């Protein structure tokens, strides 16, 4: 399968890694939208939120543990935003489930 995040997870494409364990990888976004902008992905290929089900949803809880861990390590004490875009209307451009974490600037709400 031609998936850039699978290739990054497999080490076949470079990334600026922050954290890695058996199931997940976190790396900085190549096109940052905030002073701190990283992505957390499952190493297994899940297309997006629309492919989460009873058998694979455990990874989502683990990813949130990873996000909280990294946020503590990066001293994101003033807060941050976690975003997952899904499908065309959601603005998803990479079809491998990922969680954006944006921090170190005030973020508008609601999003445009």
Q: Which residues of the chain form contacts with ligand 5GP (CB under 6 A)?
A: 4, 15, 27, 29-31, 85, 91-94
37, 45, 69, 98: the catalytic one is 98
* First vs last C-alpha separation in the chain: 32
| Minimum CB distance to ligand 5GP smaller for 79 or for 87 | 87
Q: Kindly indicate which of the ranges 10-18, 20-28, 70-78, 94-102 contains the residues binding Zn ion, using the contact rule CB under 5 A.
A: 94-102
| Interface with Zn ion, residue 94, by CB under 5 A | no
CB 53, min distance to ligand 5GP, A: 20
| Interface with Zn ion, residue 3, by CB under 5 A | yes
- The question of whether 98 is a catalytic residue gets the answer yes
Count CA atoms within 13 Å of residue 68 on its CB side. 6
Q: Is the distance from CB of 19 to CB of 25 less than 8 angstroms?
A: yes
| Interface with Zn ion, residue 52, by CB under 5 A | no
C-alpha 56/C-alpha 81 separation (Å) is 23
∠ CA 99-14-41, rounded to 5° = 20
Q: Pick the binder of Zn ion from 20, 43, 45, 52 (CB under 5 A).
A: 45
Distances (CA, A) of 70 to 19, 86, 99, 106: 8, 23, 13, 19
Q: Which residues are catalytic?
A: 98
């Amino acid at each position: 399968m031609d998936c850039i995040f699978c290739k990054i997870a497999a080490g076949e494409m470079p990334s600026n890694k922050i954290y890695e364990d058996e199931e997940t990888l976190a790396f900085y976004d190549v096109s940052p939208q905030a002073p701190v902008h990283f992505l957390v992905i499952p190493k297994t290929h899940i297309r997006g939120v629309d492919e989460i089900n009873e058998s694979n949803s455990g990874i989502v809880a683990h990813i949130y543990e990873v996000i909280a861990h990294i946020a503590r390590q990066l001293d994101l004490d003033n807060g941050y935003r976690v975003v997952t875009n899904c499908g065309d209307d959601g603005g998803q451009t990479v079809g491998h489930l990922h969680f954006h974490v944006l921090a170190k600037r005030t973020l508008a709400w609601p999003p445009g």
